[in-house]
């Protein structure tokens, strides 16, 4: 029995190590490569006649998603949003990871229908590195509150990262209609998501808080009650009655 129990534990440990070993190639990357890919994500490619290379790793995109979560939490603190019951990290993580995984799956499905040459891991990597422009734009505009500055960064920095993804998808898609559907959908979702994070995210979160926890009520305070003024004659009469009773 001891031998069988030890054998089962060893097989479980080996299977767990094997599953982790499957994911290792997607996170085996050098910091210099990540830095180079971050810079490349802001430079649109010009040659679209042949398929452009897409990095098949997930370390950089995953770190960018967590960075975007931290920037959203920082924006909650610097804005006028009232934060109650925690830092709302779960909401920020759900928003960022939901966009990354959901939009990647949707665009991969469209790419499959449009006969584009891209895998799911490549789509996750492409969209993840595309969030680098969002991180720069939100970090700057959360600390410098000017709408004109945000629109400049939205068109400049966010537009460059979007053009990079669009150019890569164009190089891997055949047919003008397929390119228009696939790239137009990705560009619209990516740019609108940045607008949502800047203008509507905090209001939506505050509305959810008000729905779950009730309206923003002021804290309970002790207020001194107004005591009516009693005349001296009434006090004297009361004291004499009490003395006679005793």
Distances (CA, A) of 92 to 70, 102, 199: 8, 15, 15
Q: What is the pLDDT of residues 159-200, one digit of tens each?
A: 999 999 999 999 988 888 998 999 999 999 999 999 988 887
* Residue 158 burial (10 A CB sphere; 0-12, 13-18, 19+): buried
In order along its 246 residues, the chain shows pLDDT tens digits of 667 766 676 666 556 555 666 777 778 888 899 999 999 999 888 777 778 888 888 899 999 999 999 998 888 776 655 555 455 677 888 889 999 999 999 999 999 998 888 999 999 999 999 999 999 999 998 888 788 888 999 999 999 999 999 999 999 888 889 989 999 999 999 999 999 888 877 666 666 656 655 554 444 343 344 444 445 554 455 555 555 554
Domain containing 156 equals 59-213
Instruction: Judge whether 208 lies within some domain.
Output: yes
Evaluate whether residue 232 is within a structural domain. Answer: no
Per the structure, the count of domains in the chain is 1
For residue 3, being part of any structural domain is answered with no
b/e map 174-205, b = 16+ CB within 10 Å: eeeebbeebbebbbebbbebbeebbeebbeeb
Q: What is the dihedral of CA 210, 214, 217, 220, to 10 degrees?
A: -140
> Does residue 246 lie within any of the structural domains?
no
Q: 200 lies in a domain?
A: yes
Asked whether residue 31 is assigned to any structural domain, the reply reads: no
């Amino acid at each position: 029995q001891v031998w069988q129990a030890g054998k089962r534990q060893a097989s479980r440990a080996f299977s767990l190590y094997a599953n982790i070993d499957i994911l290792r190639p997607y996170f085996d990357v050098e910091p210099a490569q990540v830095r180079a890919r971050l810079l490349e994500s802001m430079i649109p490619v010009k040659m679209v006649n042949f398929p452009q290379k897409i990095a098949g790793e997930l370390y950089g995109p995953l770190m960018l998603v967590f960075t975007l979560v931290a920037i959203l939490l920082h924006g909650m603190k610097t804005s006028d949003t009232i934060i109650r019951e925690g830092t709302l990290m779960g909401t920020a993580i759900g928003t960022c990871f939901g966009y990354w995984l959901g939009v990647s799956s949707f665009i991969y499905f469209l790419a499959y229908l449009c006969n584009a040459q891209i895998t799911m891991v490549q789509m996750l990597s492409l969209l993840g590195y595309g969030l680098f422009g969002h991180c720069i734009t939100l970090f700057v505009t959360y600390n410098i509150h000017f709408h004109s500055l945000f629109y400049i960064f939205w068109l400049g920095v966010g537009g460059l990262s979007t053009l990079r993804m669009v150019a890569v998808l164009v190089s891997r898609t055949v047919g003008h209609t397929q390119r228009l559907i696939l790239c137009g959908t990705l560009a619209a979702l990516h740019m609108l998501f940045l607008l949502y994070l800047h203008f509507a995210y905090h209001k939506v979160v505050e509305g959810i808080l008000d729905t779950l926890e009730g309206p923003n009520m002021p804290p309970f305070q002790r207020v001194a009650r107004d005591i009516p003024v009693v005349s001296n004659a009434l006090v004297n009469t009361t004291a004499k009655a009490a003395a006679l009773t005793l």
